[in-house]
Amino acid sequence: MVAASIVAILALAVLPMLYLRDMAREKRQRSLLFEPCLDLFPRYRVTQEGRNYPVLTGDYAGHLVRLEPVLDTMAARKLPSLWLKLTLLQPNPARPVFSFLMRPDGNEFYSPNREMAHRCAIPPSWPNNALFCADEDDGELKTRLDTHMGVFTDPHAKELVASPVGVRLVYQIAQAERAHYLVLRQARFEKPVADPAVVRMLLDSAIEIAASLDRWDDAIAARAA
C-alpha cells in the first residue's frame, strides 16, 4: 500500500515535467515553420506568441508582405489543416473588394467571403466548386482576374482576397497525420515547415495580381478624369 502511494506521488510529480517538456518541444518545432524560406527575404521579422505558429513580416522584391499560419480544426469529417495566409501589404483605396474561395464548406472562419454583398457568377473558364463574392459584381474585374486563375490548378490553393489594404492568397501547407488525429484528436503535421518554392510562387502571384488590379484602377481613374 505504501509502495503504491509512493508510485502515485512520483507519477504526479513527473507528469507536469513531461507536459512542460512536450510543450517546449512543440513550440520549438513550430518556430521552425519559416526556416527554409528566410533566404527569400532581405529583411524580415519573425514573431511567436507562446506555442502558436510564428508570423513572418518581411520585404520581398521591394514589397511588404506578411505570412501568417492558421490552424484549422473546425471542419467536420476532415483532417485538420494548416493554412498559410500570405498577404501583400500594398494599400490602394481604389482596389476592388472580393474573395474567390475554392471548395467552400461553410467553416472557413479565416475568410471574409460570406460577408460580401454580392455572390457573383463564375466564368466557365475558371475552376468550379468555388464561391466568388464581391462588394460589386463587375464583369471587367473577372476579365482582369482570368489570367491569374492558374494558381488554383494547385489543389492546395484555397482563396484569393483583395481589398484596399492588400492582396491575399490562402494555401494549405500541411494536413494533420490521420492516425495520430484519429487516436489522440491532436493536429500533428508530418512536414511542419513551409516549402520555399511554394512561398515564392505565392508571393510572385500576389504581386502579379495586385499589379493587374491596380493597372485597371488607374485606367478607370484616367477615363473618369
Longest dimension (CA), the chain: 91
Low-confidence ranges of the chain (pLDDT < 50): 18-19, 21, 178-185, 220-225
For residues 142 and 126, what is the distance between their CA atoms, to the nearest angstrom? 10
Query: What's the pLDDT score for residue 11?
Result: 54
Q: What is the C-alpha end-to-end distance of the chain, expressed in Å?
A: 91
Predicted local distance difference test score (pLDDT) of residue 37: 95
- Determine the pLDDT at residue 50: 84
Q: Which of 169, 114, 121, 168 is nearest to 142 (CA)?
A: 121
pTM (2 d.p.): 0.81
User: What pLDDT was estimated at residue 224?
Assistant: 46
pLDDT at 80: 79
Which run of H or of E encompasses 168?
Answer: strand 167-175
pLDDT value for 75 = 58
- Strand-pairing partners, residue 68, are 85
Q: Is 117 helix (H, G, I), strand (E, B) or coil?
A: coil
What is the rounded distance in angstroms from the CA atom of residue 37 to the CA atom of residue 200?
8
Domain boundaries, the chain: 32-224
Helix axes 196-224, 139-146, angle to 10 degrees: 140
Q: Is 176 left (phi over 0), alpha (psi -120 to 50) or beta?
A: beta
Q: Decide: helix, strand or coil at residue 165.
A: coil
SS (H, E, C) 170-201: EEEEEEECHHHHHHHCCCCECCCCCCHHHHHH
In the prediction, which pLDDT does 180 show?
Answer: 46
